[in-house]
Structure 1
Amino acid sequence: MTRPSAAPNATGSGASDRFDPGPAATSDQTNEGHQGVPEAGSPDADGRRGPTVPISAGRAKHRAPASDDGRFEQVLESLRTQIRDLRFAQGLPGADEGEALQSDLLAQLSDYVLPRVRRPDIPLLIAVAGSTGAGKSTLVNSLVGEQVTTTGVRRPTTNSPVLACNPADVDWFSESHFIPSLPRVRQQGLAMPGKDGMLVLAASDAMPPGVALLDTPDVDSAVAAHHEFASKFLDAADLWVFVTTSTRYADARVWEFLQVARDRDTSLAVVLSRVPRKGHQQLLDHFGAMLEANGLGNATRFAISETDQISGEHFTSNVADPVRDYLADVAGEDEQRDRVSRRTFIGVIDSFAERVPELIRCVEGQIELSRELGTAVDEAYAGAARRIDSALGDGSLLRGTLLARWHEVAASGELAKSLKMRSKRSRKAKAQQAESGQRVGSLEGAVRDSLEALVVAASERASDDIEDRWRTVSGGGDLVAEALDKPGSGMLAQQVRQEIAEWQREIAEMTAERGATKRSVARFVTFDHDVVALVLIIDLLGYERSQSGGGAHAAEPTGPSPQRLLKGLFGAPSLRSMGATARDNLRARIEGLLQRERVPFDAVLASAGVPSEDAAVQLYQAKYNLEISR
Structure 2
Amino acid sequence: MTRPSAAPGTTGPGAPDRFGTGPSATSDQPAQGPVPASAADAGALGGPAAPVSEGSAKHRASATDDHRFEQVLESLRKHIRDLEFAEGLPGAEEGRTLQADVLAQLSDYVLPRVRRADIPLLIAVAGSTGAGKSTLVNSLVGEQVTTTGVRRPTTNSPVLACNPADVDWFSEASFIPSLPRVRQQGLAMPGKDGMLVLAATEAMPPGVALLDTPDVDSAVAAHHEFAAKFLDAADLWMFVTTSTRYADARVWDFLQVARDRDTSLAVVLSRVPRRGRRQLLDHFGAMLEANGLGTAARFAIPETDQIRGERFTSNVADHIRGYLADVAGEADQRDRVTRRTFIGVIDSFRSRVPELARRVEAQIETGRTLATAVDDSYATARHRVETSLGDGSLLRGSLLARWQEVAAGGELTRSLRPRGKRVRRGRRAEQAERSPRVVALERAVRDALEALVISACERASDEIGQKWREVPGGGDLAAKALDQPGTGLLAQQIRQEVAEWQRGVAEMTTASGATKRSVARFVTFDHDIVALVLIIDLLGYERSHSGGGAHAAAPSGPSPQRLLKGLFGAQSLRSIGASARDDLRQRVLGLLNRERVPFDNALASAGIPSEDSAVQLYQATYNLEITR
Give TM-score scaled by structure 2 length. Answer: 0.91
Count of aligned pairs? 605
The code of the aligned residue for 1:225 comes to: A
Match in the other structure for 2:257: 260
Task: Please say if residues 267 and 298 of structure 2, whose CA atoms lie closer than 8 Å, have aligned partners that are also in contact.
Answer: yes
Distance change >3 Å, CA 308–CA 490, structure 1 → 2: farther
Please state if 1:26 is matched with 2:21: yes
Match in the other structure for 1:498: 496
Whole-Å separation in 2 of the counterparts to 1:145 and 1:37: 24
Query: Secondary structure of 2:511's partner?
Result: helix
Deviations 1:381-428 (A, max 9, x none): 111100001111111101100001111111223323332134333466
Distance change >3 Å, CA 106–CA 524, structure 1 → 2: closer
Please state if 1:58 is matched with 2:53: no
CA RMSD of aligned residues (A): 2.4
The code of the aligned residue for 1:34 comes to: Q
Query: Secondary structure of 1:234's partner?
Result: helix
Query: Secondary structure of 2:21's partner?
Result: coil
Pairwise CA distance, 1:522: 4.2
Pairwise CA distance, 1:224: 2.0
Query: Secondary structure of 2:317's partner?
Result: helix
Whole-Å separation in 2 of the counterparts to 1:490 and 1:431: 36
Match in the other structure for 2:511: 513
Task: Please say if residues 180 and 194 of structure 2, whose CA atoms lie closer than 8 Å, have aligned partners that are also in contact.
Answer: yes
Match in the other structure for 2:380: 383
Query: Secondary structure of 1:304's partner?
Result: strand
Within a 5 Å distance, the mapping from 1:198-213 to structure 2 comes to 198-213=195-210
- Runs of 5+ consecutive residues of structure 1 not aligned to the other structure: 1-9, 39-51
Q: 1:181 aligns with which of 172, 178, 182?
A: 178
Task: Please say if residues 24 and 316 of structure 2, whose CA atoms lie closer than 8 Å, have aligned partners that are also in contact.
Answer: no
Pairwise CA distance, 1:449: 0.5
Distance change >3 Å, CA 404–CA 348, structure 1 → 2: same
The code of the aligned residue for 2:602 comes to: V
Distance change >3 Å, CA 12–CA 581, structure 1 → 2: farther
Greater alpha carbon shift after TM alignment, 182-191 vs 481-490: 481-490
The code of the aligned residue for 2:464 comes to: I
Distance change >3 Å, CA 489–CA 269, structure 1 → 2: farther
Pairwise CA distance, 1:252: 1.2
Within a 5 Å distance, the mapping from 1:604-615 to structure 2 comes to 604-615=602-613
Query: Secondary structure of 1:156's partner?
Result: helix
Distance change >3 Å, CA 54–CA 515, structure 1 → 2: closer
Please state if 1:527 is matched with 2:525: yes
Q: 1:453 aligns with which of 451, 460, 464?
A: 451
Pairwise CA distance, 1:519: 5.7
Q: 2:323 aligns with which of 322, 326, 337?
A: 326
Task: Please say if residues 27 and 37 of structure 1, whose CA atoms lie closer than 8 Å, have aligned partners that are also in contact.
Answer: no
Task: Please say if residues 28 and 37 of structure 1, whose CA atoms lie closer than 8 Å, have aligned partners that are also in contact.
Answer: no
Match in the other structure for 2:337: 340
Please state if 1:151 is matched with 2:148: yes
Task: Please say if residues 183 and 198 of structure 2, whose CA atoms lie closer than 8 Å, have aligned partners that are also in contact.
Answer: yes
Match in the other structure for 1:245: 242
Task: Please say if residues 519 and 568 of structure 2, whose CA atoms lie closer than 8 Å, have aligned partners that are also in contact.
Answer: no
Pairwise CA distance, 1:613: 2.3
Match in the other structure for 1:425: 423
User: Structure 1 vs Structure 2: percent identity of aligned residues?
Assistant: 75
Distance change >3 Å, CA 547–CA 170, structure 1 → 2: same
Whole-Å separation in 2 of the counterparts to 1:289 and 1:529: 97
Whole-Å separation in 2 of the counterparts to 1:530 and 1:15: 104
Task: Please say if residues 373 and 470 of structure 1, whose CA atoms lie closer than 8 Å, have aligned partners that are also in contact.
Answer: yes
Pairwise CA distance, 1:20: 4.0
Distance change >3 Å, CA 56–CA 614, structure 1 → 2: farther
Pairwise CA distance, 1:82: 1.5
Distance change >3 Å, CA 408–CA 596, structure 1 → 2: same
Query: Secondary structure of 2:553's partner?
Result: coil
Match in the other structure for 1:576: 574
Pairwise CA distance, 1:301: 1.0
Query: Secondary structure of 1:531's partner?
Result: helix
Query: Secondary structure of 1:415's partner?
Result: helix
Within a 5 Å distance, the mapping from 1:38-437 to structure 2 comes to 53-54=44-45, 56-61=47-52, 62-63=56-57, 64-65=59-60, 66-67=62-63, 68-154=65-151, 156=153, 159-422=156-419, 423-426=421-424, 429=427, 433=431, 437=435
Task: Please say if residues 123 and 210 of structure 1, whose CA atoms lie closer than 8 Å, have aligned partners that are also in contact.
Answer: yes
Query: Secondary structure of 1:351's partner?
Result: helix
Within a 5 Å distance, the mapping from 1:478-489 to structure 2 comes to 478-486=476-484
Pairwise CA distance, 1:540: 0.9
Whole-Å separation in 1 of the counterparts to 2:497 and 2:288: 74
Task: Please say if residues 187 and 203 of structure 1, whose CA atoms lie closer than 8 Å, have aligned partners that are also in contact.
Answer: yes
Match in the other structure for 2:441: 443
Task: Please say if residues 515 and 568 of structure 2, whose CA atoms lie closer than 8 Å, have aligned partners that are also in contact.
Answer: no
